[in-house]
Structure 1
Amino acid sequence: MVSPYVYDLCQATETVTSELAKDPSQSPGDIVKKLYGHHEHALHHNASTQKTTPPPSPPNEAIETIQKALHCGHWGSTIPSQLFLQAFADALQCLDEDPIAGVVSPPLMGSHGTIPLTVIAPLADVMRHTANLIARAQKEVFLITCSWAPSVAQRLIRGALIELSKRAGQRGERVIVKVMYDKASPANAMNPHQNIKPKSYTAKSVDLPSPEEIPNIDMEVVSLHRFVLGTLHAKFCVVDRRVAAVMSNNTEDNDNLEMMVHVEGPIVDSIYDTALITWQNGLHPQLPLCNSPPASEGGVTSPVQTPGYRNSTTTEERTGTVTERNGEEVTREHTPEDPHFDDDITGEVKRMQASYSEKAGETRLQAANRKLNVAAPTPIDPSGPEIQAGEEMTPYILSSNDAKPVPMALVSRPPYGAIDSKSAHVPQNEAWLSLIRNAQRNIFIQTPDLNAGPLILAIIDAVKRGVEVTYYVCFGYNDPGEMIPGQGGTNDQISQALVASLPENSSERELLHIYNYVGKDQDHPIHQSFKSRSCHIKLLIVDECVGIQGSGNQDTQSWFHSQEINVMVDSVEICQKWREGIDRNQNTKKFGKVAKDGIWRDDSGKPGKGYMGNPGTVMGLVKGAMGMVQKWKGPGGF
């Protein structure tokens, strides 16, 4: 039930963004306190975090809940589905205890917009789009990420900032840039938000451009970490308050397959508001577009950022994926050393797909292998079957020409540092659980690891109701860390427990399908410890019509501690394109299904190389401690 208090919060005209526009001398953190009271996520515990699954509402109450939720969002001309509205209503309930639990002003939590582009690709190819967005900026850029390390991804962003400064200088203008990343330094223990000086952010460990290298940009850099476990895990970029990219990836090099959605329209104002709340500190200088009119329903109108679809590509009608440009010269890849920025999404798609095409003497399989090896710490040869025509990797997936706005909502969570699991009642978790609880036909999940207790119970309940559940996880993802008691367990431990919890040969067990990620060029899962083929996508789709994409993993850390950002989307077309893109750009569906005992096995019945089994409590502590030390020493990888 949406309470009168929450209903009124959503009807208010004041938001953090609007109040900052009235008085730019305020900090977003002070505005949050003024509008919503003081909610220190490192200190307060939600009294209702141990809630059990709510009983079904009486028909009249359920209808009233849906109606109230409908009036708590700004849907424009779109009409949200009942499944979407129920999840939105359940997420809104969290605001009773903390109005800012969704890391967005309540009036902006429910909105609408378009998704002209989805990216399902290796990390660097996701960041190529981010780099293009930054280079095309006119006034301001907000870039927020988790782990930041010297890498191809980092150099792409560095190069984009230098290009942005050059273009701004040619226009005789200046651009404001705000950058945030997670860093657990001693200073963050005193104040989670730390201003980073140029001397620090130009050091080799970060390698952002110095003020002298970007003379036409005013850049501020802040690190955020709420001790002990309150990681800034959200990853997103907002450009000119007109375009936003919500992504799964950090800014580093690894072997991960990642996912990004490019959104336009009013939902961008919601993400912009989240950026301000996350920043919290005063803005020096101020953001020039803070007092601009909100983003239009149609999204971006500037030709600089507008995707020109017509007559631009050979497109597969079914998937919207660009595979070739017949009769045109091969387009050179955009790299840090040889930059080639594009004016619009169409140009980006052409350039990106060209890089996945076969070079002289290559097969399609070899081309995919080449691309997947680029940033992998341990490159490997292909083992999968040859890729057939029409099944090539298509990392940049376009929406249809006549894409209309669809209902969207931000379902996120704030950082929580305490070493317990009391910060559970947050919009992210409640939206996930609501969709699973109300699923009628099927549930699809892809996540690096899956071990959150409430989710496991929800999956068991779903298959017992006759709902088909399919989930993809990464073989061995962070096994040592997940073995620590209290962290939930490894993917293999959870899959075995899930299978064992269901009667053998039962219909419930037949409805549960568990897969380990397999790269597009492979025929078997590869343990994440080998750093050759891993997957970091975070996606939930229910009944093929409502999806949640973002930064949140289905693990203990993301459920109870890290700050996350996720977009819930109500669209059959978009969910279909996401699902098709997932299976087209990996071989998980073909080769990744686990055996009847929950463990992936080869043709001879042996588990995959690197399988760690169930070490027990003592060895779990030992291996877990070693894994956490390695994780803290490394660049990240959350």
Structure 2
Amino acid sequence: MASLSRFSEPWIGAVKSRRQDGNPEFPDYPLSDPQSLISTSCPQSFQTGTGASIYTQSLLPAILTAKNEVILVTCFWAPSSTLTALKETLEELASVRRKRIQNQHAAGPDGDIVTPLRIRICFSSRSFLQKLFHTSSKDGFIYPPSTWTAQLGLPSQGILEAGLINLQVKSLFFLPFSVMHPKFLIVDRQRAWLPSCNVSWEPWLEGCVEMTGDVVSHLMTFYYSVWEAHSSEEPAADAPRRVGMQFTSTPSRPPSPGSLGLTSIKSPASHFAHLGGENAVPTILLPSSHHRNPMFRPLPWHRSPAPPRTPLNCAILRLVEMAESSIYMQTPNLTSVTVVDAVLVALDRGVDVDIVTSKGMMLLEQIVTAGTTTSLCLKSFIKRYRKRQLAQVQRQGTQSSSGSDAAIDLEAQPPQLGSLTISYFHPDPTQKSRGVKEEPVHSHLKLTIVDDQYTVLGSGNMDRASWFTSQELGILFQSTSFVKTIREVVGEALKDRLDPVFDSALC
């Protein structure tokens, strides 16, 4: 396996060379010290499914194992089967803890001591009015307990406090478009999950990676720098010891939902793979700070501005730049001109590119944040690629007509144009005809694989919103075995769910 330094050294340089515009980044530490984002992780599992299936099959059972702390960060928060299942889970957790407390009192001083459980729920978008009138303070808005049940669909304060659960719910949003888009779950600062899904109702294809290892403390640092920036607690790796929390060295494995009597939602697109988690792999946490200025250039003769040099943006561009053989890119939307331009350069070098996206997904959001749509961008992309194909054919025709192999300097010739395939995701027709509720209608998975060695997962899309305004969080793994598993799982989820848009092999 090639050294990570081939990626990391140019990437660090690109992040550090960012242009200062006078506005502080939020958070700012990844830009001043990108080296601090590099660590290792032990990937435990990867799965696909809908948001409801991933939550009920993995994330909520994991919350039930918590002994000291749960941190749940998402972007969109909406009434849904996911939210109902989350409420049920918290109520069950409070009930179990309440019974343990009662047994503790009955057993006297020798009984099992139940310590307080700290739960933090963070989100960005709940409704149009919530965003319109949201505070611009980086401290965000903390929801009073009186709103938990009626507004947020959560258990009451009384139910939670009976189980010694200390809940806080906070939202952050910055007008006009700056949502906090990351999604992650951390349980007892030992195990972390990065899903692509929100606490929402959409039946979309999602993915989720679970991991342990050093990267969890890096994720904690990111969490504190955004959601508890003014907290008295310290976010360093040994923070649990300093704040009096005791953690086991071996995280508890989540129980199966069925064994708990809780809601278990399944999807035809659900596929799960254990990754072992024994060997640490090079891993880089990749945040993108939010930016309030979308830098729109509405006039067509104006060049598209360069996107902010965030760790995530720079990582994607560096990976595409260093690609030697293949790029696989799965994204809900594709409206970032910067991404399209970079991929075309890779194709010019002979790199094969495979893109999976969605048609007609979040159209209003695309138009508002990008002034265009994925389908329009793909038409332009394909047109530019066809011009390259034509130029290549013309060059080959000129060489053939020269009649002399000696006249051809092979080293001076441009490389063969890489192949390009583009597909739209669609529901499995068989499942759709049966009216299966959790059959995904769009793909919301964000995945980039380069040279079957580097994998990027997380919240970032290849659209203008993710590249210019939203706060995002990605994670990069360098591991060929990890790539192999991801490809197998995603390949199973995409069976009978792809509609070819363009295939250069058929042109």
- Could you tell me the TM-score, scaled by structure 1's length? 0.62
* 2:282 maps to 1:407: yes
**Kept after mapping to 2: 8 A contact 1:113/1:265:** yes
Secondary structure, aligned partner of 2:288: coil
In the alignment, the residues of structure 1 paired with residue 31 and residue 90 of structure 2 have an alpha-carbon distance, to the nearest angstrom, of 27
The residue number in structure 1 matching 2:501 is: 594
Query: Following superposition of structure 1 onto structure 2, how do residues 69-108 of structure 1 map, counting pairs within 5 Å?
Result: 80-86=3-9, 88-90=11-13, 92-93=15-16, 100=28, 102=30, 106=34, 108=36
Higher strand share goes to which structure? 2
Secondary structure, aligned partner of 1:411: strand
User: Once the 2 structures are TM-superposed, how far is the Cα of residue 197 of structure 1 from its aligned partner?
Assistant: 0.8
The residue number in structure 1 matching 2:453 is: 545
In the alignment, the residues of structure 1 paired with residue 235 and residue 88 of structure 2 have an alpha-carbon distance, to the nearest angstrom, of 22
Q: What amino acid is aligned across from residue 193 of structure 2 in structure 1?
A: A
Q: What amino acid is aligned across from residue 208 of structure 1 in structure 2?
A: L
**Kept after mapping to 2: 8 A contact 1:181/1:232:** yes
Query: Following superposition of structure 1 onto structure 2, how do residues 527-538 of structure 1 map, counting pairs within 5 Å?
Result: 533-538=441-446
User: Once the 2 structures are TM-superposed, how far is the Cα of residue 483 of structure 1 from its aligned partner?
Assistant: 3.4
* 2:64 maps to 1:157: no
Q: What amino acid is aligned across from residue 124 of structure 1 in structure 2?
A: A
In the alignment, the residues of structure 2 paired with residue 225 and residue 594 of structure 1 have an alpha-carbon distance, to the nearest angstrom, of 36
User: Once the 2 structures are TM-superposed, how far is the Cα of residue 418 of structure 1 from its aligned partner?
Assistant: 2.4
Secondary structure, aligned partner of 1:178: strand
The correspondence for 1:188, drawn from 124, 134, 138, is 134
Say if 1:138 and 1:500 are closer, same or farther in 2 by CA, change over 3 A. Answer: same
In the alignment, the residues of structure 2 paired with residue 586 and residue 211 of structure 1 have an alpha-carbon distance, to the nearest angstrom, of 42
User: Once the 2 structures are TM-superposed, how far is the Cα of residue 267 of structure 1 from its aligned partner?
Assistant: 0.2
* 2:274 maps to 1:398: yes
Q: What amino acid is aligned across from residue 50 of structure 2 in structure 1?
A: P
Seq. identity, %: 21
User: Once the 2 structures are TM-superposed, how far is the Cα of residue 289 of structure 1 from its aligned partner?
Assistant: 9.0
Secondary structure, aligned partner of 2:320: helix
* 2:335 maps to 1:451: yes
Secondary structure, aligned partner of 1:503: helix
The residue number in structure 2 matching 1:142 is: 71
The residue number in structure 1 matching 2:424 is: 516
Q: What amino acid is aligned across from residue 376 of structure 2 in structure 1?
A: Q
**Kept after mapping to 2: 8 A contact 1:257/1:536:** yes
In the alignment, the residues of structure 2 paired with residue 542 and residue 245 of structure 1 have an alpha-carbon distance, to the nearest angstrom, of 22
Larger radius of gyration between Structure 1 and Structure 2: 2
Say if 1:398 and 1:596 are closer, same or farther in 2 by CA, change over 3 A. Answer: closer
In the alignment, the residues of structure 1 paired with residue 31 and residue 67 of structure 2 have an alpha-carbon distance, to the nearest angstrom, of 26
The residue number in structure 2 matching 1:54 is: none
The correspondence for 2:149, drawn from 190, 199, 202, is 202
User: Once the 2 structures are TM-superposed, how far is the Cα of residue 189 of structure 1 from its aligned partner?
Assistant: 4.0
In the alignment, the residues of structure 2 paired with residue 256 and residue 94 of structure 1 have an alpha-carbon distance, to the nearest angstrom, of 37
In the alignment, the residues of structure 2 paired with residue 175 and residue 288 of structure 1 have an alpha-carbon distance, to the nearest angstrom, of 20
Secondary structure, aligned partner of 2:291: coil
In the alignment, the residues of structure 2 paired with residue 433 and residue 247 of structure 1 have an alpha-carbon distance, to the nearest angstrom, of 23
- Could you tell me the TM-score, scaled by structure 2's length? 0.77
In structure 2, runs of 5+ residues without a counterpart are 101-112, 297-304, 393-415, 433-438
The residue number in structure 2 matching 1:499 is: 382
Secondary structure, aligned partner of 1:176: strand
The correspondence for 1:244, drawn from 192, 202, 209, is 192
In the alignment, the residues of structure 2 paired with residue 512 and residue 448 of structure 1 have an alpha-carbon distance, to the nearest angstrom, of 18
Secondary structure, aligned partner of 1:214: helix
The residue number in structure 1 matching 2:472 is: 564
Query: Following superposition of structure 1 onto structure 2, how do residues 362-373 of structure 1 map, counting pairs within 5 Å?
Result: 371-372=267-268
**Kept after mapping to 2: 8 A contact 1:135/1:164:** yes
In the alignment, the residues of structure 2 paired with residue 79 and residue 406 of structure 1 have an alpha-carbon distance, to the nearest angstrom, of 13
Range moving further from structure 2, 209-218 or 404-413: 209-218
User: Once the 2 structures are TM-superposed, how far is the Cα of residue 253 of structure 1 from its aligned partner?
Assistant: 1.2
* 2:42 maps to 1:114: yes
In the alignment, the residues of structure 2 paired with residue 332 and residue 224 of structure 1 have an alpha-carbon distance, to the nearest angstrom, of 31
**Kept after mapping to 2: 8 A contact 1:176/1:287:** no
Say if 1:332 and 1:149 are closer, same or farther in 2 by CA, change over 3 A. Answer: closer
Secondary structure, aligned partner of 2:47: strand
* 2:467 maps to 1:584: no
* 2:481 maps to 1:573: yes
User: Once the 2 structures are TM-superposed, how far is the Cα of residue 132 of structure 1 from its aligned partner?
Assistant: 1.2
Higher helix share goes to which structure? 2
In structure 1, runs of 5+ residues without a counterpart are 1-77, 308-330, 341-351, 357-370, 373-392, 525-530, 598-638
Secondary structure, aligned partner of 1:153: helix
Q: What amino acid is aligned across from residue 500 of structure 2 in structure 1?
A: K
* 2:323 maps to 1:439: yes
In the alignment, the residues of structure 1 paired with residue 233 and residue 157 of structure 2 have an alpha-carbon distance, to the nearest angstrom, of 14
The residue number in structure 2 matching 1:339 is: 262
Secondary structure, aligned partner of 1:188: coil
Say if 1:104 and 1:164 are closer, same or farther in 2 by CA, change over 3 A. Answer: farther
**Kept after mapping to 2: 8 A contact 1:178/1:221:** yes
Say if 1:305 and 1:532 are closer, same or farther in 2 by CA, change over 3 A. Answer: closer
